[in-house]
Amino acid sequence: MRVLAIDTSTMISTVSISEDGKIIGDFNVNQEKTHSESLVPMIESLLSFLGLRLSDIDIFAVAKGPGSFTGLRIGMTIAKTFAQVRNKKLIPISTLKALALNSSSKYKASMLDARGNRVYGALYGENLEEIVKEDLYNIDDFSNFCNDSGLSFDLVSEISIKYKDKFKRANILDFSYTSCIGRNLCKLAIDMKDEEFELFKLVPNYMRKSQAEIDRKKKLND
C-alpha cells in the first residue's frame, strides 16, 4: 500500500510517500513562494524520482489544520482533486497531532503560532489522546493548562524557545524536531486507513475566523 501525504499548514511545503509501511520519498521546502506555486511540481518531481505515477497511490493524506488559512486551503484542494480523479480515499489529519509524533516521549505538547500571543496547541498522551484539547489559546492559558496537568512533556514547536519560560515541566525539542510532518502523516494515515471519510465534506480545520472575516463582520456592525 502506498500513501502520499501533503502538508501546507505552515511555510513548509511537504510531500511524503510511504510504501508498505516504509518511507520511500520525503520532500520538504521552506520558501517564500506560495504553496500553489510549489506543491504540484514537488509532487510531480517526487513521483518521477521514485518511478511512480499518481495512479500508483492507494491513499492520500493531508494535514487539515490548524495552520495557515491560505496554505490549508491549497493543500486540501489539491489533495481532494487527486483523490477524486483517482477515486481513492483521502484521510484528513490534525496538524498538531502529526507534529506531536516528532516526539517519542510518553507525553508531548505541540504548538503552532497563531500570532498576537495566541497559539494553536494541544497536549497529548502516549496514544495521542488529548489531555489538553486541541484548540486556539492565548499563550498564557495554554501554558497554564499544560502546567496544571502536572506532567513532564516534550514541547514540539518552532516557537517553543520564545515561550519556554511559561512552561514549568517542558523539555524543549531542538529545531530538527519542530517541523516537517509528512512522514508522520503517512504513519497516521495507515493507522486510520479503515476509517470512512466523505470526500466532498472534508474542509480545513481553521479553528478561528480569518482576519478578512473579522474585518467584514466589524464593518457590518459599524
Q: Where is pLDDT greater, at 30 or 22?
A: 22
Domain boundaries, the chain: 2-94+180-209, 103-177
Output the CA torsion sign for 123, 126, 130, 132: negative
DSSP letters of 106-138? Answer: SSEEEEEEEETTEEEEEEE-TTS-EEEEEEEEE
**2-94+180-209 shares its CATH topology with 103-177:** yes
Q: What value does the mean pLDDT take over residues 33-39?
A: 83
Closest C-alpha among 194, 16, 13 to residue 91:
194
- pLDDT tens digits for 126-179? 999 999 999 999 999 999 999 999 999 999 999 999 999 999 999 999 999 999
Q: CATH 3.40.50.10310: does it fit domain 103-177? A: no
What would the CATH number be for the domain defined by 2-94+180-209?
3.30.420.40
The pLDDT score that the predictor gives to residue 221 is 47
Q: Residue 183 is placed in which grid cell?
A: 512522514
Using alpha carbons, list the distances in angstroms from residue 114 to 26, 102, 136.
Answer: 26, 20, 8
Q: How confident is the model at residue 214 (pLDDT cuts 50, 70, 90)?
A: very low
Contact 140, 147 (CB under 8 A): no
The secondary element (H helix, E strand) that includes residue 193 is none
In the beta sheet, which residues pair with residue 154? 108, 171
Q: How confident is the model at residue 213 (pLDDT cuts 50, 70, 90)?
A: very low
